[in-house]
Amino acid sequence: MSTIREPVVIHKGLDNVYVKESKICYIDGEASKLFYRGYSIEELASHSTFEETSYLLIYGWLPTESQLDQFTGKLESYRVIEPRLLDLLRKLPPKSDPMDVLRTAVSALGVYDPQPATDDLDARIDKALAILAKVPTIITAFQRLRTGSDPIPPKGHMTQAGEFLYMLTGHEPDPHDVHVMDVALILHAEHEMNASTFACTVTASTLADMYSVITSGIGTLRGPLHGGANEAALRTVLDVGDPSNADSYVVDALTHKKRIMGFGHRVYKTWDPRYLILKKLGEELAVKKGQTKLFDTALAIETSARKHLEGTPIFPNVDSYSGIVFHMLGIETDLFTPIFVMSRISGWTAHTIEYLEANRLIRPKALYVGKIGLPYPPIESRSGKPQE
Ligand code: CMC
């Protein structure tokens, strides 16, 4: 019997496929523009805070002072993690990848919640906010446990950025470091229908609970073509080691068809506006921390890559400097993608809620090109090889 073929177009990678209307994020990939709920990323990075931006993304408007106080108070009340979760973190192998730990921990939060599933959208937001607030506590607790120290509980009255830096070391963080971290969180909070946001949307469309939704996002974000690129980009800069090695690295990589991490984007065909902001922050931080060689090496890679990729739409993306910034803040490389989660939960939540307001189960199709109607062979007569 012959294979069934339908006259269809296959959208591999779902390039240019729209899955919903949205009022959350607008990207102009040709003009280097990014807006959250209508506000430009440059305005938000200059004037907003991560908490305020999260509120904007999730609820749709910039909060009044009392709305913001209530929101930050809620996050603060959720930030502590229960002893059962700490026990679980203690039992995980210290060599675990922190993204695996985070995925496991967020999933476990769902097990500890007596009522993880709800149809009520406000209750869903509340569960997401609890996860958002707990993620810095989980990441820092695991970081301390794996280095033989005791976890430090949140201090209270601090922002997501400040608490994260505080719980890593137990020291009051430098206000400029907190500012840089805060801006980095704003820049990573949302980015339209990227792979992890789509994964969250698919999971939510089945009416699964928010723990499952966010766990899906974490699993999807961790790949090196998505959130994991920031770690890979920093490792490249550290391996290259000196600006004088940059050009030979780039030429070798491009000759061998290897990708330069922190370059290229499915949507931006010019400069990623987040990259421009992070590069400036990175330059300032490099001078402040006396790490100009690291920054200069990244800059030399960028200059060389742009020279050799001239005429292509491959430009630096957000990840070309985010890893350097986090590294200069004293953060371990494998915590960079967990930091991305610590911020992107806002965008995942905003899109999930927006989609659920007019839900439709996401169920695309695959065009079957195999055989059908084959006779079932007895085990002793099977070839043990793929079908011809
Ligand atoms: N270095 C060298 N060549 C590249 C790169 C790169 N970073 N990115 C794309 N290309 C080339 C690619 O080899 C291909 O060339 P050819 O047509 O000769 O085979 C061409 O550009 C088109 O590649 P593509 O994979 O079809 O392009 P895409 O738009 O699907 O790629 C991407 C998007 C992000 C997967 C890709 O640019 C990439 O792998 N970049 C490196 C990883 C990275 O930095 N990811 C972070 C993305 S931003 C943060 C986030 O959203 O999570």
- Of 265, 272, 327, 351, which is the active-site residue? 265
Could you give the count of Cα atoms lying within 13 Å of 383 in the half-sphere of its Cβ?
4
Q: Residue 296 catalytic?
A: no
Residue 145 near residue 85, CB atoms below 8 Å: no
Region of 88 please: left (phi>0), alpha (psi -120 to 50) or beta. Answer: alpha
Q: Is the CB of 187 under 6 A from ligand 1?
A: no
pLDDT of the residue at 228: 84
94 is written with which tokens?
């210290």
Distance from C-alpha of 61 to C-alpha of 59, rounded to nearest angstrom: 6
Asked whether 354 and 22 are in contact (CB, 8 A), the reply is yes
Q: What is the pLDDT of residue 64?
A: 98
Which residues are 25's β-sheet partners?
A: 36
Tokens of 264: 């290229």
| Cα 264 to ligand 1 centroid, rounded to whole Å | 5
308 lines ligand 1 (CB under 6 A): no
In short, whether 262's Cβ falls inside 6 Å of ligand 1 is yes
**Which pLDDT tens digit goes with each residue over 256-296?**
999 999 999 989 999 999 999 999 999 999 999 999 999 99
Give nearest CA residue, ligand 1 atom 40. Answer: 264
**Which ligand 1 atom is nearest residue 221's CA?**
52
Rounded average pLDDT over 330-339: 96
Nearby residues of 107 by Cβ (< 8 Å), 6 or more positions away: 211, 212, 215
Q: How far apart are CA 200 and CA 108, in angstroms?
A: 17
From the CB of 320, is ligand 1 less than 6 Å away? no
14 Cβ closer than 6 Å to some ligand 1 atom: no
Which of the listed residues 314, 318, 322, 348 should we mutate to test ligand 1's pocket, taking the one with most ligand atoms within 8 A of CB? 314
| Residues 182-189, mean pLDDT to the nearest whole number | 98
Which among 32, 197, 218, 225 is the best mutation to test ligand 1's pocket, defined by most ligand atoms within 8 Å of the CB?
Answer: 225
pLDDT in tens, 93-132: 999 999 999 999 999 999 999 999 998 999 999 999 999 9
Distance CA 77, CA 74 (A): 5
Measured from the CB, is residue 264 less than 6 Å from ligand 1? yes
Tokens 């195999």 appear where?
A: 370
CA dist 294 and 354 (Å) reads 41
Q: 142 vs 31, 95, 285, CA distance in Å?
A: 41, 10, 26
With a 6 Å cutoff on the Cβ, whether 327 touches ligand 1 is no
> What ligand 1 atom has the least distance to the C-alpha of 266?
29
- pLDDT for the residue numbered 386: 85
CB distance 195 to 226 below 8 Å = yes
**Does residue 323 have its Cβ closer than 6 Å to ligand 1?**
no
Per-residue pLDDT, 103: 98
Other Cβ atoms less than 10 A from the Cβ of 363: the count is: 8
Of the candidate ranges 135-139, 212-216, 348-352, 371-375, the one whose mean pLDDT is the lowest: 371-375
H helices of 113-154, in order, are: 121-146
Q: Assign 3-state DSSP to the chain and report helix, strand, coil percentages, each to 5.
A: 60, 5, 40
Cβ–Cβ under 8 Å, residues 211 and 127? yes
Largest CA distance in the chain: 74
Closest residue to atom 15 of ligand 1, CA basis: 257
Chain Cα centroid distance, residue 96: 19
Measured from the Cα of 259, ligand 1's closest atom is 1
According to the model, what pLDDT value does residue 317 have?
A: 93
Ligand 1 centroid vs 295 CA: distance in angstroms? Answer: 23
Ligand 1 atom at minimum distance from 317 CA: 48
Is the Cβ–Cβ distance between 341 and 217 less than 8 Å? Answer: yes
Give backbone dihedrals phi and psi of 151, rounded to 5 degrees, phi first. -60, 150
Question: Of 210, 255, 257, 253, whose CA–CA distance to 233 is shortest?
Answer: 253
**Neighbouring C-beta atoms of residue 10, cutoff 10 Å:** 8
Tell me if 227 CB under 6 Å of ligand 1. Answer: yes
Angle between helices 121-146 and 83-91 (to 10 degrees): 50
pLDDT > 70 fraction of the chain, expressed in percent and rounded: 98
Best probe residue, ligand 1, of 263, 302, 341 (max atoms within 8 Å of C-beta): 263
Tell me the C-alpha to C-alpha distance, in Å, between residue 162 and each of 141, 169, 178, 246, 276: 15, 11, 5, 34, 23
Mean pLDDT for all residues in the chain: 95
Q: Which atom of ligand 1 is nearest to the CA of 226?
A: 52
Residues 193-205 have a mean pLDDT of 98
Find out whether the beta carbon of 321 lies less than 6 Å from any atom of ligand 1: no
**Mean pLDDT for the stretch of residues 164-190:** 97
113 is catalytic: no
